A = this chain, B = another copy of it.
Amino acid sequence: MISSDSNAQVKELVKLQKNARERRKKQLFISEGIKLTKEAALYGKLEKIYVAESFYEKAEETVKQWIEEYPYEEVADTVFSGISETVTPQGILGLVKMPSYHLEEILNDERKSIILLDDLRDPGNLGTIMRTAEGAGMSGVVMSRGSVDLFNPKVVRSTMGAIFRVPFYYADDLAEVIEQTKAKGIPVYGTMMQGSVVYDEPDYCTGAGIVIGNEANGLSQEVIGHLTGAVRIPMEGNLESLNAAVSAAILMYEITRQKRKKLS
C-alpha cells in the first residue's frame, strides 16, 4: 500500500492532475470515480487503478474482482484525497491512456457535422459541448490550441464519458482546418451576435461546421475571415450573449432536427 505523499507514483498522478503539459507529454490522464474508470477500461484505455484503502475495504466482491483484473495499488485515504481533484473523492481513480484521432477521421466522417472551438476557455463548457456532441451525433470536435485542455479534470468529469467516444483534434491553426473542411464541401458557420442570418436558416443537411468563440471575446478576426457565413441566435432581453455550451447545443440540435425532418 502507498502511504506517503512523496511516493513517486503519487507525485506523478498529482502532476497529471494539475499540469496539461505533463498530460500531453505522457499521453496520460486521470479518470475519477468508478463509472468513468470503468468506461476507460471498456474502451481499452485503462493502465492502472488507484484505490483508497477504505474504498477497497468496503467494496462489494464484484467491484473488488473487477479492480483485480487490472494492475492496481491501494493508497492510504489521506494520500488519496491529495491526488483527487473532487471535493468528496469516491476513492477510486484510473491512470488512463489518451485517445487520439487524426483530423482526417473527423473530416471524412459520413455525418459531416463538426464543432470547432475558437479558444474556448471554460472547462465546464468544453465538457458539456463534448457531451452534447455525442448526443447530437457530431463527427467530432476540433479545438484551437488556445482552448482549455480536454484532459483537465473538470472537463473530463463533465463530459460524462463522451471523452472516450467523441473524436477530437487540437488544431495549431483553426483557420486552416476551416479551409480543409470547406474543401470537403462542408460549409462552416460561425455563431455571432452580429450574424447576418438566423441560425435555423442555412440548410445543414448536407453537412455543417459550426464555430463557437471564446466566452469573453467571441470569434477571432482570423477565423471570421474564413467562414462560409455568420449565424446568430436571436436574443430577447438585455443579455450580451448566451453561454457558449448553450449556443453550441442549440446549433448541434438544429443540425440533427433538420436531418430528422428531411428523413421523415
A interface residues (Cβ-Cβ under 8 A, vs B): 124, 128, 131-132, 134-137, 158, 160-162, 165-166, 198, 200, 233-243, 245-246, 249-250, 253, 256-257, 260
| Contact (Cβ within 8 A) A233 B124 | no
Nearest CB of B to A179, in Å: 28
Give A238's nearest chain B residue, CB to CB: B165
CA of A162 to CA of B158 in the docked complex: distance in angstroms? Answer: 24
| Contact (Cβ within 8 A) A165 B234 | no
| Contact (Cβ within 8 A) B256 A234 | yes
* A158, A161, A233, A238 interface centre (most CB from chain B within 10 Å): A238
Contact residues in B for A166 (Cβ distance below 8 Å): 237
What is the oligomeric copy number?
2
CA of A165 to CA of B238 in the docked complex: distance in angstroms? Answer: 8
CA of A257 to CA of B158 in the docked complex: distance in angstroms? Answer: 28
Contact residues in B for A128 (Cβ distance below 8 Å): 243, 245-246
Contact residues in B for A236 (Cβ distance below 8 Å): 134-137
CA of A135 to CA of B247 in the docked complex: distance in angstroms? Answer: 11
| Contact (Cβ within 8 A) A243 B245 | yes
* A128, A237, A245 interface centre (most CB from chain B within 10 Å): A237
CA of A237 to CA of B233 in the docked complex: distance in angstroms? Answer: 26
**With contacts A160-B239, A161-B238 known, what are 16 further pairs, Cβ within 8 A?**
A128-B243, A128-B246, A132-B242, A134-B238, A135-B233, A135-B237, A161-B239, A162-B237, A200-B257, A233-B253, A234-B260, A243-B245, A245-B245, A246-B246, A250-B250, A250-B253
Nearest CB of B to A163, in Å: 12
Partner of A135, one of B124, B132, B239, B257: B239
Contact residues in B for A241 (Cβ distance below 8 Å): 160
| Contact (Cβ within 8 A) A131 B239 | yes
Contact residues in B for A237 (Cβ distance below 8 Å): 134-135, 137, 162, 165-166
Give A247's nearest chain B residue, CB to CB: B249
Rank and list the top 6 A-B pairs by shortest CB-CB distance, nearest first. A137-B236, A134-B237, A135-B235, A246-B249, A250-B253, A128-B243
CA of A166 to CA of B238 in the docked complex: distance in angstroms? Answer: 11
| Contact (Cβ within 8 A) B240 A160 | yes
Q: List 6 A-B contacts (CB under 8 A).
A: A128-B245, A132-B246, A135-B239, A160-B239, A161-B239, A233-B253
